[in-house]
Chain A
């Protein structure tokens, strides 16, 4: 029982960063843009958050700076994929490469040559439920985790399905011609979606450096961006289902860590668990086939004929 509770606790913690990024990517893809810059944006956000927090001594300032950097990254992606209509795969991957390189460059410049990685005092874990059974352990989370699950996810869902803005985003990713005919500015909607996406992705990265690790390392993101892309598809582009997917991922990750720590020898390697979300997503893609809620206008730059 204790095992399950502590597993769930770890799950929530591990899932936070990916969930933020995945919600961001959901917005981008719903608006019709596949943002492969996600990995680089997370990484860059992790660095900026760490660096500014270290510089100013304030974690929240660091987080704000990270979100700002994500917004900028979103703008660059929008410039290339929306305004210029450049191939989205290439511009996204280029952006990831650029941001990764920039973050590492700046990191080495400012912190280079140290034998131990620099660290800061991370966000504290909250403990609102004290010694209560189950909730006491489960509730030991970062404020950011609480915010993500209890505020950001519902807000993202509400914004997407219950506001005019969200309606436009959903429409633009399916049939931009119809939206244009209705007199709505397709470019502006896509820009907005990418800005939101970038901010969330960078926040996801900053969570890793400012909360989970309290440090910035080379491999701090290591592929979480691609997991987020898988989760968006797995979650059928819906914020709540994406949340479910991120919990499954987080759980799998936490589980295999625990099993490793327990020194358990399994017939299959731990990596199988880690690879599972990806394989399941591929299966989901095949099963859904043409009926997948793939935003119909995904990957197509919009030009009025």
Chain B
């Protein structure tokens, strides 16, 4: 007697299912990760307190959450732009570094400018650099139908080598000898929003990017065209929308925003270009865009939540001795569980005999 797993399509997700989904996702995530916490000889409930609640309880850690969320919001926005337009940009990591290189480079020559202008130059330069790094895969896709997933992924690695070459070569800090670029000019440093915290202009920029995403997707013709292309390429083509041009634009904008993420890390946090500037923000951005359902609210919420997890993981590690990587594991688990649970929305899984 053979058992078959049959997947049937549901007509339309009931309200009950729709409410159940985030709860199931969260519940499933917590259940799975509590196993790890127990393995770390800690009490899961205590751990979750430090993980999710404690960071919100003090001003300093709250600001840290926002700091952690900043690059995630930006890469989340970047990836959302691309995915909305039907373009699978996996290269946000490389585009981020492209922007960082621009910021680190421009930051060395804008010393004489007044601060607002210097910062403006860095942002524009970073956007353009990110766009430039996104150009090749986008052009290959539109002109030669070369799959963008692989090309953007490969370019991430190339960029990593480029950064390494710069930092071990012309940009090796002459003062410390370490592989970090010389410090950018003071006028290019992002001003802090709150003294004695790391919260800086970058967060404002991230929020602005989020608002821009919301506005473009919902209130511009271009945004509607992008969404049409992403949701129904042939229908969009039929309606007269220039599919290739729209995708190309979405890809470039995506790269530019990822570049801005790089600028914010350099000018807002590090003030140097370093190898480990990004803790995989480009890849996490993909997860955030997916969890956020490709809309501004979702992306904002997911990024803040992930920022909370990142910060909380540090606290858990410090207080309970559970390794800080709990954060990454929780984020990944959350994604996989959500993906699985989301399917319940559209499909019913039955086990049939015979």
Q: Is A286 an interface residue (CB 8 A)?
A: yes
Interface residues on B, range: 35 or more
A80 to B342 CA separation, bound complex (whole angstroms) = 12
Residues of A within 8 A of B7 (CB): 83-85, 303
Please determine whether B146 and A97 come into contact, CB atoms closer than 8 angstroms: no
Q: Using a CB-CB cutoff of 8 Å, which residues 75-104 of chain A contact chain B? A: 76, 80, 83-87, 89-91, 93-98, 100-102, 104
Please determine whether B283 and A289 come into contact, CB atoms closer than 8 angstroms: no
Beyond A105-B326, A271-B161, is A230–B154 a contact (Cβ under 8 Å)? yes
Q: Is B290 an interface residue (CB 8 A)?
A: yes
Say how far A223's CB is from chain B's closest CB, in angstroms.
Answer: 6
Please determine whether A90 and B286 come into contact, CB atoms closer than 8 angstroms: yes
Q: Using a CB-CB cutoff of 8 Å, which residues 231-290 of chain A contact chain B? A: 233, 269-272, 274-275, 278-279, 281-282, 285-286, 289-290
Please determine whether A93 and B156 come into contact, CB atoms closer than 8 angstroms: no
Q: Is A227 an interface residue (CB 8 A)?
A: yes
A292 to B325 CA separation, bound complex (whole angstroms) = 40
Please determine whether A274 and B140 come into contact, CB atoms closer than 8 angstroms: no
Please determine whether B156 and A226 come into contact, CB atoms closer than 8 angstroms: yes
A58 to B183 CA separation, bound complex (whole angstroms) = 49
Please determine whether A97 and B332 come into contact, CB atoms closer than 8 angstroms: yes
Which of the residues A83, A85, A105, A290 comes within 8 Å of B145, measured between beta carbons? A290
Contact with B along A289-305 (1 / 0, CB 8 A): 11000100001000100
Please determine whether A94 and B287 come into contact, CB atoms closer than 8 angstroms: yes
Q: Is B5 an interface residue (CB 8 A)?
A: yes
A271 to B140 CA separation, bound complex (whole angstroms) = 24
Beyond A80-B336, A80-B339, A94-B339, is A89–B161 a contact (Cβ under 8 Å)? no
Please determine whether A83 and B5 come into contact, CB atoms closer than 8 angstroms: yes
Residues of B within 8 A of A162 (CB): none
Please determine whether B169 and A275 come into contact, CB atoms closer than 8 angstroms: no
Please determine whether A80 and B340 come into contact, CB atoms closer than 8 angstroms: yes
Describe B's contact surface by its main secondary structure: helix
A128 to B161 CA separation, bound complex (whole angstroms) = 37
Residues of A within 8 A of B278 (CB): none
Please determine whether A275 and B157 come into contact, CB atoms closer than 8 angstroms: yes
Beyond A89-B149, A97-B332, A102-B329, is A226–B154 a contact (Cβ under 8 Å)? yes
Residues of B within 8 A of A279 (CB): 154, 158
Please determine whether B151 and A98 come into contact, CB atoms closer than 8 angstroms: no
B284 (CB) vs chain A CBs: closest residue: A97
Residues of A within 8 A of B155 (CB): 278, 282
A279 to B136 CA separation, bound complex (whole angstroms) = 12
Residues of B within 8 A of A84 (CB): 7, 339-340, 343
- Residue from the set A36, A226, A275 with the largest chain B CB neighbour count within 10 Å: A275
A269 to B160 CA separation, bound complex (whole angstroms) = 13
A233 to B153 CA separation, bound complex (whole angstroms) = 13
Total interface residues on A, using CB and 8 Å? Answer: 50
Please determine whether B88 and A89 come into contact, CB atoms closer than 8 angstroms: yes
Residues of B within 8 A of A285 (CB): 140, 146-147, 150-151
Residues of B within 8 A of A299 (CB): 149
Beyond A272-B165, A279-B158, is A104–B335 a contact (Cβ under 8 Å)? no
Please determine whether B150 and A104 come into contact, CB atoms closer than 8 angstroms: no
Q: Is A181 an interface residue (CB 8 A)?
A: no
Q: Is A1 an interface residue (CB 8 A)?
A: no
Please determine whether B40 and A229 come into contact, CB atoms closer than 8 angstroms: no
Please determine whether B146 and A94 come into contact, CB atoms closer than 8 angstroms: no
Q: Using a CB-CB cutoff of 8 Å, which residues 134-180 of chain B contact chain A? A: 136, 140, 144-147, 149-151, 153-158, 160-162, 164-165, 168-169
Q: Is A112 an interface residue (CB 8 A)?
A: yes
Q: Is A150 an interface residue (CB 8 A)?
A: no
A94 (CB) vs chain B CBs: closest residue: B335
Beyond A93-B283, A104-B325, A271-B164, is A286–B339 a contact (Cβ under 8 Å)? no
A294 to B154 CA separation, bound complex (whole angstroms) = 17
Provide 28 A-B residue pairs closer than 8 Å at the C-beta atoms, listed in order of the A residue.
Answer: A34-B149, A80-B336, A83-B5, A83-B7, A86-B339, A90-B287, A90-B339, A91-B336, A93-B90, A94-B336, A94-B339, A96-B283, A97-B287, A97-B328, A98-B332, A101-B327, A101-B331, A104-B323, A105-B36, A109-B39, A109-B40, A229-B153, A274-B161, A275-B162, A279-B154, A279-B158, A289-B144, A289-B145
* 17 more A-B residue pairs beyond the given contacts A94-B336, A109-B322, A269-B165, with a C-beta to C-beta distance below 8 A: A87-B290, A90-B286, A91-B336, A93-B90, A95-B336, A101-B325, A104-B323, A226-B153, A226-B154, A227-B157, A230-B157, A271-B164, A275-B157, A275-B162, A285-B140, A289-B145, A299-B149
The 3 closest A-B pairs by CB, nearest first: A101-B328, A98-B332, A108-B323
